[in-house]
Amino acid sequence: MSHAMERFLSAVAASVENQAAGESVIGTIKIAVLPIAKVFTMCFLGFLMASKYVNILPANGRKLLNGLVFSLLLPCLIFSQLGQAVTLKKMLEWWFIPMNVVLGATSGSLIGFIVAYIVRPPYPFFKFTIIQIGIGNIGNVPLVLIAALCRDKSNPFGDSEKCSTDGTAYISFGQWVGLQYRLLVHLKLRMEVFRLRTLQNAAPEQVPLLTQEDDKPIDSNASKKGKIKQFLVFLYEKLKLKQILQPPIIASILAMFLGAVPFLKRLIFTTDAPLYFFTDSCNILGEAMIPCILLALGGNLVDGPGSSKLGLRTTAAIIFARLILVPPAGLGIVMLADKLGFLPPGDKMFRFVLLLQHTMPTSVLSGAVANLRGCGREAAAVLFWVHIFAVFSMAGWIVLYINILF
């Protein structure tokens, strides 16, 4: 009798455990899928508004909306959230966030090189394939996902306000490396374009085969001053530094500087600060960034992928490598850094943001780089398809990350 009772109780306990495990799995899937579903819904509404049947968001309207987001709403969100969260001590603790971006771009580019070597994309898209796989979106899409995830009160990271503030601060802090990469790539491509135009403008008949030596002495100081002047003019006119130092980057710089100085932080970012009304106004404007950017993103997809010379094989390889092969490499990087003690102990949001940086679709910056190379159509096609498939891949990876972290 006692043995039968023990078996009955053990069977009941096992069924309860299985039921709890099933509920836990369902809860994890719900937590991971709901933010993606919210993003997809808002993007679909933008797509519907931009379609020819409704036509409330035509091309000119989407351009204005994009300008509003990147010139005002996104800088306000970054300034208010990053400024409130950051301190000098935290910036020293967060050193691995930009390092993670560098390691992610390096590992992604290495994977891109291997894939390009195997797939053999049509000429001249070998480097294009590497860039499309190696550069992920470390800014806008993670911000949207964090906002959608933290909005749910049942999120695993606790208090919704703290979850959103910390997540936004971590993502904004990682955009420093994006600035450096943008500067280096922009500088390299602009110099290359300038060199090619210079060679094209120099007609062969204008260059003498034999030159006579001038008897006049050359003033070396004057020539050095002339070269310096030419270089400064080149920086101002050709590099267009205004395009590099965009409002979100300027907002990040101001937020880190003001947040790192205790006196200025108490003056602007604390709730009882005399200038907190400015921070609160930025908070209100920043909240409008998420729906606006998703409506614009959905509207931009209305034109479809367009024509492309890449071919189905190369396009599929880029999507598979970016969404399926790159995240495991990033997971290995983050887990190794955690084992080595490089990450703040107990901060799960910190680790989640690091993992998200490796999971995102191809960055829009890669499209700008491809445009300078004359591959704008191919970049538009890749960005279209990779964002469509990223809806499903990101949900799967987020389920895995939540299971690992919790």
Structure tokens at 86: 């950051």
3-class secondary-structure state, position 362: strand
pLDDT in tens, 195-213: 555 555 544 444 444 444 4
At residue 20, the pLDDT reads 39
**b/e burial code for range 136-153 (CB count within 10 A of at least 16 → b):** bbbbbbbbbbbbbbbeee
SS3 324: helix
What is the identity of the amino acid at 398?
I
Q: Residue 236: its pLDDT value, please?
A: 54
Instruction: Flag whether 26 is in a domain.
Output: no
Q: Which domain holds residue 394?
A: 33-199+236-405
The pLDDT score that the predictor gives to residue 21 is 41
CA angle 143, 240, 365 (to 5 degrees): 30
Q: What's residue 207's pLDDT?
A: 44
Classify residue 194: in a domain, yes or no.
Answer: yes
Instruction: For residue 136, list its beta bridge partners.
Output: 362
Whether residue 317 lies inside any domain: the answer is yes
What's the pLDDT at 301?
Answer: 74
pLDDT value at residue 224: 61
pLDDT for residue 245: 66
pLDDT for position 280: 92
Tokens representing residue 75 in the block: 């800088």
Q: What local confidence, expressed as pLDDT, does residue 6 receive?
A: 53
Provide the pLDDT for residue 324: 95
On whether residue 192 sits in a domain, the answer given is yes
- At 203 the pLDDT is 47
Does some domain include residue 272?
yes
Torsion of CA 188, 191, 195, 201, to 10 degrees: 140
| pLDDT of amino acid 332 | 95
pLDDT score at 107: 93
Which of 375, 376, 372, 377 is CA-nearest to residue 189? 372
How confident is the chain (406 residues) per 10-residue block, as mean pLDDT? 50 43 60 78 87 85 84 88 86 89 90 93 85 83 84 82 87 70 55 53 47 49 64 58 69 88 90 90 89 82 68 90 94 94 90 92 69 67 85 89 88
Evaluate whether residue 221 is within a structural domain: no
Q: Find the CATH number of the domain harbouring 109.
A: 1.20.1530
- Tell me how far apart the alpha carbons of residues 128 and 123 are, in angstroms, rounded to a whole number: 10
Residue 89 lies in a domain: yes
Per-residue model confidence (pLDDT) at position 378: 76
User: Does 204 map to a domain?
Assistant: no
Total structural domains in the chain?
A: 1
